[in-house]
Amino acid sequence: MQRCLDGDDGTLGCVSARLLVGAAVNAEVLDQQDYAEVLASEFGYVTPENVMKWGPLQATADSWDFTKADELLAFTEQHGQLVKGHALVWHVQQPDWTTGLDAPALVSAVEAHIKQTVPHFAGRLRAWDVVNEAILDGGLGIRPGLHTALGISGMADAFKWAREADPSAKLYYNDYGIELFNDKSDAVYRLIQDLLAAGAPIDGIGFQAHFSTRHYPSLEGLRANIARFADLGLTVNISELDVRTAEVPGTKAERLAAQAITYREVAAACALEEACEAVTLWGFTDAYSWVDGEFGADDPLPWDETYQKKPAHAALLLGLAGEPSLAGAELVADGGCETGTGWSGFGGATIGVVANGRTGNACRATARTEEYHGPGVSLTGKVPQGSTVSVRAYARIANAEGGRIRMILKKAEAGVADEYRELAGRVAPNADWVLLTANFTLGFATTPSELTLYVESPAIDGQLPNLLVDDMTVKILSAD
């Protein structure tokens, strides 16, 4: 249960009696008064950003240095905060001396690292991220290097070594880009199944949730994905949440309003799913965020550089209380294809209504000669500048064993090259219906001459399959 300081229900840590609300901590700036005060007053759950990673802890093969980590733990214990260690097995921030080790030697080094590190903190940490980011982007297999050297059996052993070293700590797998139903989250789901089958004592999974207002999971999609992993017997934590704003044009006020909606939707998805136990921000002030160095100047966190609360803070209070953003009127007529008025052919596709829908009728795209030919809906003139839009649709490939389906947003704007933004994509096996869902923020310099959502899939065995879609909803979200 989250702890509340002095009955102050206006802080993030006091919103929910069930959820842990946390932040990643830059231990190098804990001596700064403003930083320390916000961390101590707002958060009851702490993840060390760097000081518990392998490289900082074991600079040489036969020496460990826990000084910085112990200093951080002293702070958290002084303020009654729980701690999740991060991260035991990761391909980044490995010690330099591990470079060039062959696979057996690398596995032995990992074993020695875990068996030295975890006992040092035993009984003082609530949890560990044991294996971090093992799957390549796009779900194309296990990442080469450290994770490949370990393989399924070695990664399972890493969990076993951690459990033996600290039986009280909860053990997690952690990764990015898996919050949506997509190829990577499907691959991570299979990896977890394989690790559990190999005897790995996995308690939960972390969805990192490094988002942008340009594109992020919808409330419905994130809740469904949380439930999917919960069905494996896991708890879920939103483990590294931040929200970039610079990718979408608009005033700063518009960008921060869209950011607030993103934070609120993500927090509400966790609050509304019993299996979701924690929401951790990756930092809390724009003064110290990894985003600027990786993506360029941005404002990704709920406090600005001077520790002033942004709209995202109030939005998080609502989301953590289980109150998602408000949805406006439906923008698509008959997205369920009961009369066929909602969808039309995009490119050269022909649209017809058929009776074998997911619920009732469906719309079917035939006569496709290019992969982008498919069912589409026009949003032209319906979405104002700076709006945050929630979209959902179900799709399947009608005449094939399965294949990949993508939902694309096309934006045509005067003086700007046409933009094609993938909102969702997933392999649909065995002609099954799959959910395509996302939220996005729309910014533009001039009113678009065309704004279209469409669904596409590539050729299979030289043929472009028919595509079916059903149960689409498109709504503009508002923060209040």
Task: Determine whether 49 is an active site residue.
Answer: no
Answer yes or no: 133 catalytic: yes
What's the pLDDT score for residue 9? 61
Q: What is the C-alpha to C-alpha distance for residues 198 and 270, in angstroms, rounded to an integer?
A: 29
The total number of residues written for the chain in this structure: 480
Q: What is the mean pLDDT of residues 51-74?
A: 96
Burial class (CB in 10 A: 0-12, 13-18, 19+), 297: exposed
How crowded is residue 89: how many other Cβ atoms within 10 Å of its Cβ? 25
- What would be the CATH architecture of the domain defined by 12-325? Alpha-Beta Barrel (3.20)
Tokens standing for residue 178: 């898996």
Q: Which residue has the tokens 């607030």?
A: 260
Choose the catalytic residue: 133, 254, 265, 456.
Answer: 133
Whether the per-residue pLDDT at 42 is higher than 80: the answer is yes
Partners of 463 in the beta sheet? 460
Question: Residue 398: what pLDDT?
Answer: 82
Please state the rounded mean pLDDT for residues 263-290: 98
pLDDT of 390 strictly over 90: yes
Rounded to an integer, what distance in angstroms lies between the CA atom of residue 160 and that of residue 226? 24
Round to whole Å and give the CA distance between 249 and 147: 39
pLDDT at position 140 is 82
pLDDT value of residue 480: 76
Looking at the chain, the whole-number percentage of residues with pLDDT higher than 90 is: 86
CA–CA gap between residue 4 and residue 294 (Å, rounded): 34
- Alpha-carbon distance of 199 to 42, in angstroms, equals 37
Q: Which of 42, 49, 240, 254 is catalytic?
A: 240
Residue 113 near residue 154, CB atoms below 8 Å: no
pLDDT at 1 over 50: no
Taking the C-alpha atoms of residue 270 and residue 249, their distance in angstroms, rounded to an integer, is: 29
What's CA 281's distance to the chain center, in Å?
12
* Overall average pLDDT of the 203-215 stretch: 97
Which distant-in-sequence residues (6+ apart) come within 8 Å of 433 by Cβ? 358, 394, 395, 396, 470
SS (H, E, C) 72-89: HHHHHHHCCCEEEEEEEE
Q: What is the pLDDT of residue 447?
A: 87
Report the phi/psi class of residue 471: left, alpha or beta, with left for phi > 0 and alpha for psi in -120 to 50.
Answer: left
Q: What is the DSSP letter of 30?
A: T
Rounded to two decimals, what is the model's pTM? 0.94
**Is the CATH number 2.60.120.260 carried by domain 328-478?**
yes
At residue 3, the pLDDT reads: 52
Does 250 have pLDDT greater than 90? no
- What are 33's two structure tokens? 């008064």
Do residues 394 and 379 make contact, with C-beta atoms less than 8 angstroms apart?
no
pLDDT in tens, 137-171: 987 899 999 999 999 999 999 999 999 999 999 99
Looking at residue 104, what is its pLDDT?
A: 96
Strands, DSSP E only, in 357-433? Answer: 362-366, 374-378, 388-397, 402-413, 416-429
Cα separation, 55 vs 53, whole angstroms:
6
β-bridge pairing 276-281 and 235-244: parallel
Mean pLDDT on 393-406: 86
State the chain's mean pLDDT as an integer.
94
Domain boundaries, the chain: 12-325, 328-478
Most confident of the following: 203-217, 329-343, 398-412:
203-217
pLDDT at site 4? 59
Asked if 338 and 361 count as a contact pair (C-beta separation under 8 A), the reply is yes
pLDDT of 224 above 50: yes
Are the CB atoms for 364 and 351 separated by under 8 Å? yes
CA distance 361 to 338: 5
Query: How many Å apart are CA 405 and CA 393, to the nearest integer?
Result: 11
Cα(426)–Cα(293) distance, integer angstroms: 30
| Residue 5: pLDDT over 80 | no
For the chain, give the percent of residues with pLDDT over 70.
Answer: 98
77/148 Cα distance (integer angstroms): 37
pLDDT recorded at residue 2? 47
Predicted pLDDT of residue 212: 96
Tens digits of residue pLDDT in 298-333 = 999 999 999 999 999 999 999 999 999 999 999 999
Three-point CA angle 246, 135, 243, nearest 5° = 20
- The pLDDT tens digits for 89-113 are 999 999 999 998 999 999 999 999 9
Q: pLDDT digits over 7-41, tens only?
A: 556 899 999 999 999 999 999 999 999 999 999 99
- How many CB atoms are closer than 10 A to CB 398? 16
Say which residue, 10 or 399, is predicted with more confidence: 10
